[in-house]
Chains A and B, each alone.
Chain A
Amino acid sequence: MSDANQNAGPSENSDLHSAMPTETIKAIPLRHPLRNLAAAVLLVVSVSFLYDASHREIYDWATFTHYLFNHRVLTGVVVTLELTAYAMVIAVLLGIGLAVMRQSPNPVLKSVAWTFIWFFRGTPVYVQLVFWGLLSTVYPSITFGIPHVGDIATIPSINNLSLFVLAVIGLSLNEAAYMAEIVRAGLLSVDRGQEEAAKALGMGWGLSMRRIIIPQAMRIIIPPTGNEVISMLKTTSLVTAIPLTIDLYMATRDISATTYKPVPLLLVASTWYLVFTSVLMVLQYFLEKRFARGYAQMGLEVQVTPLEGNGAG
Chain B
Amino acid sequence: MTTNSQFMVQAQNVHKNFGAHEVLKGITLNVTHGEVMCLVGPSGSGKSTFLRCINHLDVVNGGRLLVDGELIGYRDGGEKLFELKASEAALQRRDIGMVFQKFNLFPHLTALENVIEAPIRVKKLKRADAIARGKELLTRVGLEEKFDSYPAHLSGGQQQRVAIARALAMDPKLMLFDEPTSALDPELVGEVLDVMRELANSGMTMIVVTHEMGFAREVADSLVFMDNGVVVEAGKPAEVLFNPQHDRTKAFLSKVL
Contacts and interface: CB of A to CB of B under 8 A. Distances in A.
A200 interface: yes
B100 A196 contact: yes
Q: Interface range on chain A: under 10, 10 to 19, 20 to 34, or 35 or more? A: 20 to 34
A194 B87 CA distance: 18
A294 B109 contact: yes
B90 A293 contact: no
Contact of A295 (B104, B107, B118): B107
A66 interface: no
B104 A201 contact: no
Interface stretch (A1-9, A47-55, A77-85, A205-213): A205-213
Given A202-B170, A297-B152, A196 B91 contact: no
B206 to A, nearest CB: 15
A196 B57 contact: yes
A298 interface: yes
Interface string B82-97: 0000110011011011
Given A194-B106, A197-B106, A211-B121, A202 B151 contact: no
Nearest to A298: B152
A297 B152 CA distance: 7
Quick one: which of B105, B117, B121, B152 has the most chain A CB within 10 A? B121
B55 A200 contact: yes
Contacts of B121: 203, 207, 211
B100 A202 contact: no
A193 B90 contact: no
Range of interface residues on B (Cβ < 8 Å): 20 to 34
A200 B151 CA distance: 19
B150 interface: yes
Interface in A203-257: 203-205, 207, 211-212, 215-216
B224 interface: no
Given A199-B93, A295-B152, A205 B100 contact: no
A140 B243 CA distance: 86
A288 to B, nearest CB: 13
B29 interface: no
B70 to A, nearest CB: 14
Nearest to B110: A294
Nearest to B166: A201
Given A201-B122, A207-B121, A294-B151, A196 B104 contact: yes
B93 A202 contact: yes
B102 interface: yes
A291 B108 CA distance: 8
Contacts of A207: 121-122
Interface in B144-178: 150-153, 163, 166-167, 170
Contacts of A193: 100, 102, 104
A15 interface: no
Contacts of B93: 199-202
A120 B108 CA distance: 34
Given A205-B86, A294-B151, 8 more contacts: A191-B104, A200-B97, A200-B98, A200-B167, A202-B118, A203-B118, A203-B121, A291-B108
